[in-house]
């Protein structure tokens, strides 16, 4: 395939993928009273309405807190599982891999229903946020495991042996040798975990507590009775927050990939 044709093809694919996002962002600046595109004039009125809506602001705070906690837990567990899988699993590697990736193999709604039965069986129910955190960790854990495992595949065990021969302890070897080398995988897995946790709907819908709502759930409830550009403003902010996390992480952490 010639280079100009390939360039045009890539541009068309990017345009197809970005078109829905551009429509939502454009609709959020609509001056009219209904969610339409192209906008009937440009205005920031629906952003002002959104930021003054305490229900949406509380949902954003809940989603950010839940995504942050789930990311930390899934990153720790996923990293430890990946290290065991690559270096110590032996003949059990395939079994462990299937077990870690099983949340991705099943439909999300089945996972959510199973978790709902589980949290009620052990007595958690919807009285606390623990069940919701468990669900988000379960659905984000495979992404951390995949990214860290890929980084570990290129890890040379001779570096660890050399550090051991020089008297370095297990924690020192992990902190000074392994962790800096697998840092791209850890960061990538954490980013995936945060974004997926922030946007996941079915798990949150099934496991949310009474009076608790994440941003996707609150947006879904809003669109059932309202069809104003405020929904587009909420969606645009969600897109900006997700991009912001990716950009900040890349700038702050990605450029220091060999420093820890």
Residue 1 located in a structural domain? no
Closest CA to 190 of 233, 245, 230, 236: 245
Whether 183 is covered by a domain: the verdict is yes
Give domain status of residue 33, yes or no: no
Residue 105 lies in a domain: yes
Nearest CA-CA partner of 82 in 205, 179, 6, 159: 179
106 domain residue, yes or no:
yes
Does 12 fall in a domain? no
The pLDDT score that the predictor gives to residue 258 is 41
Structural domain of 122: 44-256
- The span from the CA of 126 to the CA of 134, in Å, is 12
The string of DSSP letters for the chain reads --HHHHHHHHHHHHHHHHHHHHHHHHHHTB-SSS--SS-SSB-SHHHHHHHT-HHHHHHHHHHHHHHHHHHHHHHHHHHHHHHHHHHT-GGGHHHHHHHHHHHHHS-HHHHHHHHHHHHHHTT-TTSSSHHHHHHHHHHHHHHHHHHHHHHHTT--HHHHHHHHHTT--HHHHIIIIIHHHHHHHHHHHHHHHHHHHHH--HHHHHHPPTT---HHHHHHHHHHH--STHHHHHHHHHHHHHHHHHHHHHHHTGGGTT--
Distance CA 75, CA 145 (A): 8
The neighbour count for residue 173, using CB atoms within 10 Å, is 18
Residue 72 has a pLDDT of: 92
236 within a domain of the structure (yes/no): yes
Q: How many residues does the chain have?
A: 260
pLDDT recorded at residue 166 = 67
Assess contact for 131 and 207: CB atoms under 8 A. Answer: yes
Q: Are 106 and 39 in contact (CB under 8 A)?
A: no
Number of domains in the chain: 1
pLDDT score of 259: 40
CATH number at residue 88: 1.10.3720.10
pLDDT (tens digit, 0 to 9) for every residue of the chain, 260 residues total? Answer: 567 778 888 888 888 888 888 888 888 888 777 777 777 778 788 888 888 888 888 888 888 899 999 999 999 998 888 888 887 777 788 888 888 888 888 888 888 888 888 887 877 765 667 888 888 898 999 999 988 888 877 766 666 677 676 666 677 777 777 777 788 788 888 888 888 888 888 888 888 777 778 888 888 888 888 777 888 888 888 888 878 877 776 666 554 444 43
Note whether residue 127 is domain-resident. Answer: yes
Residues 6+ apart with CB under 8 A from 55: 213, 218
Q: Is 129:212 a contact under the CB 8 Å cutoff?
A: yes
């Amino acid at each position: 395939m010639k280079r100009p044709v390939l360039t045009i093809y890539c541009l068309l694919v990017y345009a197809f993928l970005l078109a829905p996002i551009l429509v939502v962002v454009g609709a959020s600046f609509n001056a009219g009273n209904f969610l339409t595109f192209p906008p009937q004039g440009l205005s920031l009125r629906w952003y002002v309405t959104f930021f003054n809506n305490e229900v949406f602001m509380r949902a954003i705070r809940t989603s950010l807190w839940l995504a942050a906690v789930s990311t930390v837990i899934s990153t720790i567990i996923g990293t430890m599982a990946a290290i065991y899988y690559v270096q110590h699993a032996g003949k059990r590697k395939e079994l462990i891999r299937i077990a870690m990736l099983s949340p991705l193999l099943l439909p999300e709604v089945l996972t959510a229903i199973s978790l709902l039965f589980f949290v009620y069986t052990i007595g958690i129910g919807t009285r606390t946020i623990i069940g919701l955190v468990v669900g988000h960790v379960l659905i984000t854990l495979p992404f951390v495991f995949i990214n860290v495992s890929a980084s570990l595949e290129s890890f040379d065990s001779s570096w660890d042996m050399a550090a051991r021969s020089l008297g370095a302890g297990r924690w020192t070897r992990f902190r000074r040798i392994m962790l800096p080398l697998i840092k791209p995988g850890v960061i990538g897995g954490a980013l995936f975990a945060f974004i997926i946790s922030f946007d996941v709907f079915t798990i949150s819908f099934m496991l949310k507590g009474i009076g608790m709502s994440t941003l996707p759930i609150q947006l879904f409830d809003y669109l059932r009775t309202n069809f104003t550009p405020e929904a587009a403003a909420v969606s645009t902010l969600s897109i900006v927050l997700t991009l912001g996390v990716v950009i900040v992480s890349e700038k702050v952490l990605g450029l220091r990939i060999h420093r820890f």
